[in-house]
Structure 1
Amino acid sequence: MSTYQLTHLETGEQVERPGILLNPHLKPAGKERHGVDPSVEAYHAQLPQYGSTTLHSLPSVAHELGFAHVFLKDESTRFGLPSFKILGASWAVHRALCSRLDLDASTTTLERVKHALASRESTDVRLVTCTEGNWGRAVSRMAKYYAIPATIYVPGFMNEYTRSLIRAEGADVKVLDDGSYDDTIAAVQQDTKTHPEALMVMDTSWPGYIEIPGWVTEGYSTLMTEVDRQVSAQTNGASLPVLAVASVGVGSWAHSVVSHYHTSSPGHASNKIVTVESIAAACLKESLHCGDITPIRTGHTIMNGMNCGTPSTIAWPVLRDGVYAAVTVNDRESHGCVQELQALDANAGPCGAATLAALRKVCNEEMIGEEERKGMCVVLFSTEGRQEYDVPT
């Protein structure tokens, strides 16, 4: 098994780790799934270009690896954006605005919030967040829908093409030339402290900031229930345990996946959830090694959306208890799977394609046996469409 090196941010300690970790903290799966708030999907149905994204069947991959089914959820067209992020951003922005305006989020429509914001009685509000790309664009799109300003802080490694996409949504993009993603978080916190109109909308959490990131995770439930319907339709309602593979940045998306799938399927073995991170930013995997949230220094990667050094506070206990295995991949492996999936008409970017690379690693290392695979349904979550990046050599 390959290894990689990383550095702990707070102590400077350098460590070498194997590419895959079977989670030593995994707890037995629960028997029931977490309840889904129906008002989330009802709200999403009000957004422009609402509709389900494609669930691709990958029979050649299923045959190669010995699974009953392998599916890839293609999030490259969600509400006209190339990423699933707007599902979490839209619900979190809606909830946050309703909270500021003293409105009931479960019954208040998007148009009612817009009217309240435009009225003279409402207070000024400006959305503030940071991003490595898709999250900031999604928050900016929601600010455009609600006709309010947005300020987006971005790290210096973000390319100009991605910055221009966020600016095109009408947001004010502030670049921290020498800053990391963690540095942009600090900038957002400072902006919010010094400007009363600023409303911080983040998809990561820390002590004292958990409510809005929790709403982000709730927003992703629409995708999860959508996948359930699509898998059932494509397997003629067969009840099979699921192996779900999800990418990790700060962990809010993986939090939603684990919350949904960490259950026992009737009459079968438990579902399993595998996470995948870049070797340049494997903060969840390192935290699992250490048994607690462990910030790390991040490096350069084409998987920009996963280039985060600290797991979200509210996601951590869920991931610690529910992830079966944590996998790392390098840029060449991700790029190779981008090309493979593009050839199969699945518009996957590096973060999405990393899930296929992780699946192969888990199988190659026999972390899921051949007999178990025969009765499993795999769902790979491709969280973004094709991105601009320098092809790794």
Structure 2
Amino acid sequence: MSEPRLVRNPLVSKESVRTLVDGSRDFHRSMPAYRPTPLAALPAAAARLGVGSVFAKDESSRMGMPSFKILGASWACYRTLLAHLGRPVDSAISLDELKAELAVGPGLRLVSATDGNHGRAVARMAALLGLSAHILVPEDMVPARIDAITGEGAEVEIVAGGYDDAIRRSAELAADDALVISDTSWEGYTEPPSWVIDGYSTMITEILDEIAAGTVPPPTVVAAQIGVGAFAAAVARGFSGRPAVRLVGVEPTDADCVTASVEAGGITTIPGPQRSIMAGLNCGTPSVIAWPDVSAGYDTFVTVTDAAAEEAMRLMYTDGLVSGESGAAGLAGITTHAAELGLGPDDHILVISTEGATDVANFDRITGARLAG
């Protein structure tokens, strides 16, 4: 495993980052169990770092799912199905109406590759709409995450290799009756991943609303974990109008495809498969559609070890926040590179805990909690 590193972004150009697309929020508000998720204070983390405050957007429970991914997956599924039916996006039909319309046509299947949370969210949407789901997962996915996907009623196919191999297999399955809902893009496939990014805008807008209301201090540093870059692109768009805010992109040391691409000056695929415990970040190739905003929007990219992610999970749990391995990556990036980032008491840090304990047994092992029993 390579050593953690910090890379100052030579490609930064915040004025070129696209603005946030907020068209999904009314749709999300219409979904069962929608409510804004909390911004949780992390005083133990602030004391450890010697900064004014640390707040975490807590995505451990989002519309009945243990991750923020339902935001992007639901909007991408909705938009993809509307397009499939030839309906305009502004038709504003409800999920129940969409389900009824789909029921009178030929059977459809939603297909997606995943490291866990995105695929589970796609499977949930398929179930809500009366469709079948075929989810591709890498061979090293832990049984708890596979069980969570099958628990949504989906068929799971285990693919030899890593996440990139699962992506390739999902693309092979695309057909008139099999719609691929991916959160990464490739040549010739960009619309659903762009809708995933747009779907995440609901969460970013919730954060911006709280900052505007004075509920939390305006952040000076925002850390966002990077897999293929969809979530990181949404964060970049949300803060593009605040150039004084430093954006820090965080990746595992052995799944650093965006950092490597920034160093190379363009999209690069790194050797795989990637095996970090930060399973949602185990990606070898940046998303084509996310790359322009991620490469232009971040001041700094950092990489972190699995041990740092585990320590960040424990630190967050000290303040009562349950964060999974990928969810804790943002804080891990800040704690690992605090000195190089030059943090001080005037800094206010915002991280996004993108998932809860999606592998409860591992969470209990790392933190000493007893969530499993």
Given the two structures, how large is their TM-score scaled by the length of structure 2?
0.91
1:276 to 229, 236, 250: 250
Output the amino acid matched with 2:222.
A
Matching residue of 2:324: 349
What are the Cα deviations for residues 27-48 of structure 1, in whole angstroms up to 9, with x where unaligned? 2x339982543x4111101211
> Residue 22 in 1 paired to residue 8 in 2?
yes
Instruction: Give yes or no for contact 1:33–1:263 (8 Å, CA) kept in 2.
Output: no
How far residue 321 of structure 1 moved from its aligned partner, in angstroms, is 1.0
1:222 is paired with a residue whose SS is helix
Q: Cα distance 1:62–1:339, how it changes in 2: closer, same or farther (>3 A)?
A: closer
Q: Cα distance 1:242–1:158, how it changes in 2: closer, same or farther (>3 A)?
A: same
Matching residue of 2:168: 186
What are the Cα deviations for residues 268-312 of structure 1, in whole angstroms up to 9, with x where unaligned? xx1111111111211111101111111112332110000010000
Q: Distance in 2 between matches of 1:162 and 1:18?
A: 27
1:328 is paired with a residue whose SS is strand
Q: Please list, as runs of the form range in 1=range in 2, the aligned pairs for 1:293-308 lying within 5 A after superposition.
A: 293-298=267-272, 299-308=274-283
Instruction: Give yes or no for contact 1:242–1:378 (8 Å, CA) kept in 2.
Output: yes
Matching residue of 1:14: none
How far residue 67 of structure 1 moved from its aligned partner, in angstroms, is 3.3
2:297 to 306, 313, 322: 322
What are the Cα deviations for residues 177-211 of structure 1, in whole angstroms up to 9, with x where unaligned? x321111111111111xx42000110001111111
Matching residue of 1:8: none
Q: Distance in 1 between matches of 2:266 and 2:17?
A: 27
2:65 to 68, 71, 81: 81
How far residue 232 of structure 1 moved from its aligned partner, in angstroms, is 3.7
Instruction: Give yes or no for contact 2:4–2:253 (8 Å, CA) kept in 1.
Output: no
What are the Cα deviations for residues 237-285 of structure 1, in whole angstroms up to 9, with x where unaligned? x6x45421111111100010011112236xxxx1111111111211111
Q: Distance in 2 between matches of 1:18 and 1:47?
A: 40
Q: Distance in 2 between matches of 1:186 and 1:307?
A: 15
> Residue 252 in 1 paired to residue 261 in 2?
no
1:30 is paired with a residue whose SS is helix
Matched residue count: 361
Matching residue of 1:115: 100
Q: Distance in 1 between matches of 2:24 and 2:71?
A: 9
Matching residue of 1:262: 240
Q: Distance in 2 between matches of 1:209 and 1:294?
A: 18
Instruction: Give yes or no for contact 1:71–1:378 (8 Å, CA) kept in 2.
Output: yes
Q: Distance in 2 between matches of 1:224 and 1:86?
A: 14
1:220 is paired with a residue whose SS is helix
1:262 is paired with a residue whose SS is coil
**% of aligned pairs identical?**
38
Matching residue of 2:121: 138
> Residue 68 in 1 paired to residue 33 in 2?
no
2:40 is paired with a residue whose SS is strand
How far residue 340 of structure 1 moved from its aligned partner, in angstroms, is 1.6
1:217 is paired with a residue whose SS is helix
2:24 is paired with a residue whose SS is helix
2:86 to 102, 108, 125: 102
Matching residue of 1:218: 198
Matching residue of 2:19: 34
What are the Cα deviations for residues 324-374 of structure 1, in whole angstroms up to 9, with x where unaligned? 111111111111111121121111111111211211233212x3453xx61
> Residue 147 in 1 paired to residue 125 in 2?
no
Output the amino acid matched with 2:228.
V
1:46 to 21, 25, 30: 30
Matching residue of 1:173: 156
Q: Please list, as runs of the form range in 1=range in 2, the aligned pairs for 1:366-377 lying within 5 A after superposition.
A: 367-368=341-342, 370=344, 374=346, 376-377=347-348
Matching residue of 1:208: 188
The structure that has the greater radius of gyration is: 1
Q: Distance in 2 between matches of 1:383 and 1:198?
A: 28
Unpaired segments ≥5 residues, structure 2: 367-373
Q: Cα distance 1:31–1:295, how it changes in 2: closer, same or farther (>3 A)?
A: closer
How far residue 63 of structure 1 moved from its aligned partner, in angstroms, is 4.1
Q: Distance in 1 between matches of 2:67 and 2:211?
A: 20
Over the aligned positions, Cα root-mean-square deviation in angstroms equals 2.0
Q: Cα distance 1:56–1:234, how it changes in 2: closer, same or farther (>3 A)?
A: farther
> Residue 56 in 1 paired to residue 40 in 2?
yes
Q: Distance in 2 between matches of 1:293 and 1:77?
A: 33
1:386 to 325, 336, 357: 357
Larger CA deviation: 295-304 vs 73-82:
295-304
Output the amino acid matched with 2:11.
H
